[in-house]
């Protein structure tokens, strides 16, 4: 059994708290970014040009972040999240639309690679809250228009360079207000790996969008996603290693019972959705339950719950994990 601290940050515009986050994590992020070959990463000019071409609404915030990073050239390239190294978390997610609206997910990864920050911001004027990654990207999140988004990774699909998915999620939440708007926006963005994005808005419109490098995004009415595309894996071996079909089937069967959010949260805290294989990057780091019509997200672990809203003050939460802990944070 192990414990980790999660940080809640409320900072509308990047400032001292973001700089503290940079100071605490930059050594690890820099090593990951350049350790895969600095020459393989885009030039500063190319990275900036791609951000300006595809996500111009984020450029003013990016410039502020670069200033806060002291103008560091590597940080400037990294923060565009254009053509970063690959990373492949697990994850499972489901959208509820019947008696209550909720987007609920497990994030499965390695403890030492989980940023563990819940960031509430208003970078472009729209309030956004979510699970931080890569310093300003999001693994999942919600905006004040009532749109919630979560991601799961899919193996394979090599192709042309694109943006790391955490910044894509950030961009969608900064610029879209509904599921349909988000689908239209993501359809014109290049991504660097394959993912499922499950979306839910406050009107109850839910969808899962598969995105991959050089592949036309595919939106489906499925409200469930694990770590393969649609319902039949293209890579059965990888899917089997993550019990991806088994977890997806569990969620489909759960939906048939029209469960309330609490029943789904309980299911996410039990096998096969809850996993403890932390040593190989497949351990449940948190369960997040977004309520887009109510404006809050509950982070849940075995034995504890932490509620965050757009206006929650800075705070910390001690998360406790079950047996299977095998990585030093």
CB–CB of 42/82 below 8 Å? yes
Instruction: Among 101-110, 188-197, 275-284, name the one with the lowest average pLDDT.
Output: 275-284
User: How far is the C-alpha of 193 from the C-alpha of 211, rounded, in Å?
Assistant: 8
Domains, the chain, ranges and CATH? 11-85 (no CATH), 88-321 (3.60.60.10)
What is the reported pLDDT for 158?
Answer: 87
57 or 41, higher pLDDT: 57
Query: pLDDT (tens digit, 9 = 90+) per residue, 138-153?
Result: 999 999 999 999 999 9
229 or 2, higher pLDDT: 229
Closest CA to 204 of 187, 217, 221, 190: 221
Report in angstroms the alpha-carbon separations of 72 from 13, 66, 75, 79, 175. Answer: 20, 7, 5, 11, 27
177 phi, psi to nearest 5 deg: -115, -15
Query: pLDDT (tens digit, 9 = 90+) per residue, 87-138?
Result: 888 899 999 999 999 999 999 999 999 999 999 999 999 999 999 999 999 9
What is the reported pLDDT for 157?
Answer: 87
Torsion sign, CA atoms 9, 11, 17, 18: positive
Query: pLDDT (tens digit, 9 = 90+) per residue, 3-16?
Result: 999 999 999 999 99
User: How far is the C-alpha of 99 from the C-alpha of 223, rounded, in Å?
Assistant: 15
**In terms of C-beta density within 10 A (0-12 exposed, 13-18 middle, 19 or more buried), how is residue 89 classed?**
buried
φ/ψ region of 235 (left if φ > 0, alpha if ψ in -120 to 50, else beta) reads: beta
Region 235-248 average pLDDT = 94
Predicted structure pTM score: 0.96
Q: Exposure string (b/e) for 230-254, b if CB count within 10 Å is 16 or more?
A: eeebebeebbeebbbbebbebbeeb
Query: pLDDT (tens digit, 9 = 90+) per residue, 152-188?
Result: 999 888 889 999 999 999 999 999 999 999 999 999 9
């Amino acid at each position: 059994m192990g414990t980790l601290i999660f940080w809640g940050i409320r900072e509308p515009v990047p400032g001292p708290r973001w700089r503290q986050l940079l100071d605490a994590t930059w050594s690890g992020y820099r090593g990951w970014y350049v350790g895969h070959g600095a020459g393989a990463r885009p030039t500063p000019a190319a990275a900036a040009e791609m951000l300006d071409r595809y996500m111009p609404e984020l450029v003013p915030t990016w410039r502020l972040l670069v200033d806060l990073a002291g103008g560091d050239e590597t940080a400037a390239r990294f923060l565009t999240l254009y053509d970063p190294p690959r990373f492949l978390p697990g994850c499972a997610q489901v959208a509820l639309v019947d008696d209550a609206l909720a987007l609920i997910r497990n994030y499965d990864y390695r403890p030492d690679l989980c940023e563990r920050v819940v960031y509430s911001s208003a970078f472009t004027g729209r309030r956004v809250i979510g699970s931080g990654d890569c310093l300003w990207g999001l693994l999942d999140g919600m905006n004040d228009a009532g749109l919630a988004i979560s991601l799961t990774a899919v193996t394979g699909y090599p192709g042309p360079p694109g943006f790391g998915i955490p910044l894509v999620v950030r961009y969608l939440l900064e610029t879209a207000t509904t599921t349909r708007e988000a689908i239209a926006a993501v359809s014109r963005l290049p991504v660097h790996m394959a993912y499922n994005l499950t979306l839910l808005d406050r009107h109850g419109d839910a969808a899962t969008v598969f995105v991959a490098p050089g592949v036309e995004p595919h939106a489906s009415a499925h409200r469930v996603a694990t770590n393969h595309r649609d319902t039949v894996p293209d890579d059965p071996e990888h899917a089997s290693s993550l019990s991806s079909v088994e977890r997806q089937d569990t969620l489909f069967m759960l939906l048939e019972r029209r469960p309330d959010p609490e029943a789904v949260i309980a299911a996410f805290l039990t096998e096969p959705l809850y996993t403890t294989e932390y040593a190989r990057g497949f351990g449940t780091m948190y369960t997040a339950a977004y309520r887009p019509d109510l404006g809050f997200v509950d982070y849940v672990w075995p034995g504890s719950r932490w509620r965050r809203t757009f206006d929650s003050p800075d705070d910390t939460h001690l998360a406790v994990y079950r047996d299977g802990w095998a990585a030093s944070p």
